[in-house]
Amino acid sequence: MWVDNGGVRLHAIDNERDGSGVPVVTVPGMGEEADEYAWQLDELGDRRVVVVDVRGRGRSHAPDEGYTWQDHFGDVLAVMAATGIDRPVMIGYSRGSPYAIGAALHSPRGVRGLVVNDYQARQVGLGEGMADTLLQMTIRGRTTAERMSEHAVRGVAIASIEIPLWDRLAELDAPVLVLRGGKSWIVDDEAQAQYLAASPRVRIDTLPDRGHGLWSATDRTPYLAKLLPFLDEVDAAP
């Protein structure tokens, strides 16, 4: 499906299912594409699932400028509005997590749950100097330079000022699941403590054998064993 957000043409995939479960909106990480998450359309139970290509990613348009935190979570909200999805579970992966948090905080009627996948509750300030590093980063055998336009990567780096979101988690009237990789350094013990101090509704779970990539194309079972029970709990909540 295609959605316009202020002149930026956004791509998303949608199973258009009218299931009994709470709907899910997924935001992939830096350089990832919605199509890589197409498995979620069938594997997250009987629910509607939408995966968003925010600007500059996947098949979405890559504008010359406009890559702030607000621009990105605005893309997510635009897709939610176009699909009519109300009070979903937001799922963010890696750098898609602060965009998912932003959409959860600004969703008109809130969300039923939030899942953060191996990322801290902050938009990490990058700076232009990080663009070259990002372009060389490899995800599932392809570099970011092969996945995104160079001007989009540089736009993300330049616009990525540090925005702490720890304290804002308490604003969410919803449970929060943080999944961390046991071999990843991103959600370390200090970050875990910050999460748990941020809100009593935050819980942490670890995939001990995984790094920053919590799932792989050939083995999603351990990841789903953590995610699906949380979704079932949200479904059962009043």
Nearest Cα to Cα of residue 30 among 92, 79, 77, 89: 92
Average pLDDT score over the chain: 96
pLDDT of residue 85: 96
Task: Report residue 169's pLDDT band, with 50, 70 and 90 as the boundaries.
Answer: very high
pLDDT attached to residue 53? 98
What DSSP string describes 67-84? -SHHHHHHHHHHHHHHHT
pLDDT tens for 42-95 read 999 999 999 999 999 999 999 999 999 999 999 999 999 999 999 999 999 999
Q: Quick: pLDDT tens for 186-223.
A: 999 999 999 999 999 999 999 999 999 999 989 999 99
Q: Is the dihedral of CA 115, 118, 120, 126 positive or negative?
A: negative
Q: Say whether pLDDT at 129 is over 90.
A: no
- The reported pLDDT for the residue numbered 70 is 98
Both tokens of 7, joined, read: 């002149």
Distance from the first to the final alpha carbon of the chain? 31
Instruction: Identify the pLDDT of residue 128.
Output: 80
**pLDDT computed for residue 127 by the predictor:** 83
Q: In this structure, what are the phi and psi dihedrals at residue 8, rounded to the nearest 5 degrees?
A: -95, 120
pLDDT digits (tens, 9 = 90+) for 145-163: 999 999 999 999 999 999 9
- Band of the pLDDT at 31, cuts 50, 70, 90? very high
Map out the domains of the chain with their CATH numbers: 2-122+164-236 (3.40.50.1820)
